[in-house]
């Protein structure tokens, strides 16, 4: 089935690390994405990972993938107040039209 799950809310203190989790469905040759949505704004592509990789690092962002458990995480190092937003993980099904299936989003609140 098409179901991507995320926890709904995360609160961290400024300067701490944030870890946002996601579980995804099992489909072949999947790419997995993280998008950021600020209030009233569109979806900003943060990073993505191919399902045969374990990890990808991009500046303050680290994506970890556990294929066995179909678990994806996004770690934000040194979280800033500007990181407060909703974070969506999404799965691309390459055996269809490359559509994205989104999770419900995790609202990250960064406290000063």
Sites of contact with other proteins (CB under 8 A)? 31, 33, 35, 41-45, 48, 50, 88, 90, 92, 94, 96-105
Between 1 and 42, CB nearer to other proteins:
42
Could you tell me the sign of the dihedral formed by the alpha carbons of 21, 25, 44, 106, in that order?
Answer: negative
Minimum distance from residue 96 beta carbon to other proteins (Å): 6
The minimum distance between CB 79 and other proteins, in angstroms, equals 23
Pairing type for strands 18-23 and 9-13 reads unpaired
CB of 102 to other proteins, least distance (A): 4
Candidates 84, 112, 85; CA nearest to 13 is 112
């Amino acid at each position: 089935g098409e179901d991507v799950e995320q926890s709904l809310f995360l609160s961290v203190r400024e300067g701490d690390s944030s870890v946002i989790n996601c579980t995804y469905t099992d489909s072949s040759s999947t790419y997995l994405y993280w998008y950021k949505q600020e209030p009233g704004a569109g979806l900003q592509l943060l990073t993505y990972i191919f399902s045969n990789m374990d990890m990808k690092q991009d500046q303050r962002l680290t994506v970890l993938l556990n294929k066995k458990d179909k678990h994806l995480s996004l770690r934000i190092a040194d979280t800033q107040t500007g990181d407060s937003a909703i974070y969506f993980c999404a799965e691309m099904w390459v055996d269809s039209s490359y559509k994205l299936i989104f999770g419900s989003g995790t609202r990250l609140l960064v406290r000063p």
